[in-house]
Amino acid sequence: MSLLASGVAVISVQDPENGQPRGMTANALMSVSLHPPLIVVSVRQQARLHAALQAAGGYGVTVLGEAQQVQARRFAGMPVARHESAPAFSHRSGIPVLDGGLAWIVTRVSAAYPAGDHTLFVGEIIDLGPDRPGDPPLAFHRSAFARLTPAAPHAPLLAWETGLDMWG
């Protein structure tokens, strides 16, 4: 699976125990449905975020840009330099999302499915928006952060603006 390039996101919740934001770096995230709008995140059952997410009943997703590798490392439990500033969160519809990403999504958990040592949390999207959509994305490939270079210059097709079905 390390050969499958993916985007990088931070999954976040408001920890019910202490009221503070809690986050986790993830590349196991997928869009499921347009009607209703659903996404799925996969969280290891032993991860600290797992119990907080179950108790919170909703989660945020911040799609990370190339300039946010430090945050990706921080929320993956990897070392970061001492001089790096603490992460900043904004609350959207009552759920924390990391500031400065390409986009953010806020969900309400509609289902949770155990899958081996992970749980798949289906989230119904209740709010979303762009922050820095023009920035290049942060990618993950061969177990390392990577940069994406467009194959050819093009104007992005924004399906939601044209009424096209993005699923084909």
Residues 6+ apart with CB under 8 A from 154: none
Distances in Å between the Cα of 125 and the Cα atoms of 16, 38, 69, 91, 129 are 20, 6, 25, 15, 11
**pTM of the entire predicted model:** 0.87
Whether 159 has a pLDDT exceeding 90, the answer reads no
Give the mean model confidence (pLDDT) for residues 41-56: 94
> Where along the chain do its domains lie?
7-148
Fold of 7-148: Pnp Oxidase; Chain A (2.30.110)
Q: What is the pLDDT of residue 161?
A: 52
Query: Tell me, what DSSP letter sits at residue 104?
Result: E
pLDDT digits (tens, 9 = 90+) for 91-103: 999 999 999 999 9
CB 106 within 8 A of CB 60: yes
Whether 148 has a pLDDT exceeding 90, the answer reads no
Whether 12 has a pLDDT exceeding 70, the answer reads yes
What is the sign, positive or negative, of the torsion defined by CA atoms of 131, 137, 142, 144? Answer: negative
Whether 87 has a pLDDT exceeding 70, the answer reads yes
